[in-house]
Structures are given as structure tokens and as C-alpha cells.
Amino acid sequence: MSERPISGRWFEDLPEGLVVRHAVTRTITEGDNTQFSTMTMNPQPLHLDAHFAAESEFGERLVNSLLTLGLLVGLTVYELTLGTTIANLGFGKVEFPRPMFHGDTLHAETTVVKARASSSRPDAGIVHFEHRGYNQRDELVALCERAALMHRRP
């Protein structure tokens, strides 16, 4: 592993039960949502058409849930995996109990639900995270389980 500044945690620093309240937050703008939806080829009018969305049960455009998921994981990188992850191994449960709207601010909290040494890589461990995203009213808006292959401390 090259010498570079890191702020992520090594496998040994991610014990089961660890809870991290992430410092970075993000307000999602109309531009973010429009760009993400069009860039990912998602023409859903609930994300892009103000008139259509105004007549929906939500009364306004919704933030694309995959943008919410991407931001949720991104908000966790600084304190968990920046410079210390080898690879994302996959996602388990992904849920969106409440929608996000333009102008909502996302903040995140993570629990380490499982951690074990890799049986095939002595320099690594596998960590299962539960990431939870909340809006500015502390309402749960997103939850995902993620497994990552993490470097052990050099």
C-alpha cells in the first residue's frame, strides 16, 4: 500500500457494535437531482417534471433514491474507508422509508454489524456496515447494509 494520507479506519479499528455518527452532511439541490437522474438515464417524471410531481401524492419532485443511496455511502467514506478499503463486496438490504425532496439535508450514522478476518487474505478483513441516512428532521430516509474488504493495519 502506498504512503498517502488516510482518514479511514483499518480493519482492527472496526469492531462489531461500533457506531459512527458522520460529520459531513449534504443538502440535495434541484440541480443535483436533475443531473443525476439524466446522467443515469432515468426519465422518471417524479424526479424531473414539476407539474407531474405536483399532482402526485408527494406534491413535489422526489430526489432519485439512487442519488440518496450514493450520498449516504459517500458521507461515510471519510471516517470509515478513505484509504483503507480494498473493495466493496456488495450490498444487502436497501430501504427508503421516506422520500427526500430538493433542499433536504442528509446526515448519516453507521453501525459495524459484523467483522471477521479474511480466510484467504491475511492482510485483510471483511466488515459489514449498516448505514442509515436521516433528513434534517432526523427522520430515517435510507438504510443499507454493505460489505467491504478492508486493509488490516500495516
Q: What is the pLDDT of residue 5?
A: 55
Q: Rounded mean pLDDT of the chain?
A: 96
Local structure of 10: helix, strand or coil: coil
Q: Quick one: fold of 11-28+68-151?
A: Thiol Ester Dehydrase; Chain A (3.10.129)
* pLDDT tens digits for range 30-54: 999 999 999 999 999 999 999 999 9
Q: For position 154, what pLDDT does the model report?
A: 87
Asked if the model's pLDDT at residue 2 lies above 80, the reply is: no
- Spans of all domains in the chain: 11-28+68-151
